[in-house]
Amino acid sequence: MCARCYEVPAAMRDSAADIEPVSASVSWTGTPAIDVGAGVVAQLVRGGVAVRWLPGCTREDPNLYSYRRDGQTGRFAGVVRLIAPEQVA
C-alpha cells in the first residue's frame, strides 16, 4: 500500500518518523500516513544496498492483490534478490 492509502493515527506516523523521517507522509484525504516503502528503501540505501524499487499500490492497482480492497483472500509475495556489485548496471 502506498503512502496515499496507508492512513494511520498521528502517533503511529510520528513513531515511524522517529526511526526513519522519510516514512512520514499524508494520505490522499490529508490524514497522517506512513510511506513504508520509502522508509525501507532509505534504510537499505544508507546500509550500502543498491535498490531497484518497483512501485505499486495494492489498493490502487487492480493487478496487485489486496484483501483490504477486494475483501477476498488470496496470495501475495515479495522478492528480494542479492546481486553481486559488479553485476549492478
**What pLDDT tens digit does each residue of the chain (89 aa) get?**
788 889 999 999 999 999 999 999 999 999 999 999 999 999 999 998 888 887 788 888 888 888 878 888 877 777 777 777 777 66
Would you state the pLDDT for residue 86?
76
d(CA 66, CA 72): 8
- Against a cut of 0.75, is the pTM above it? no
Domain boundaries, the chain: 10-87
pLDDT at position 88, please?
66
Q: What does the alpha-carbon distance between residue 17 and residue 20 come to, in Å, rounded to a whole number?
A: 5
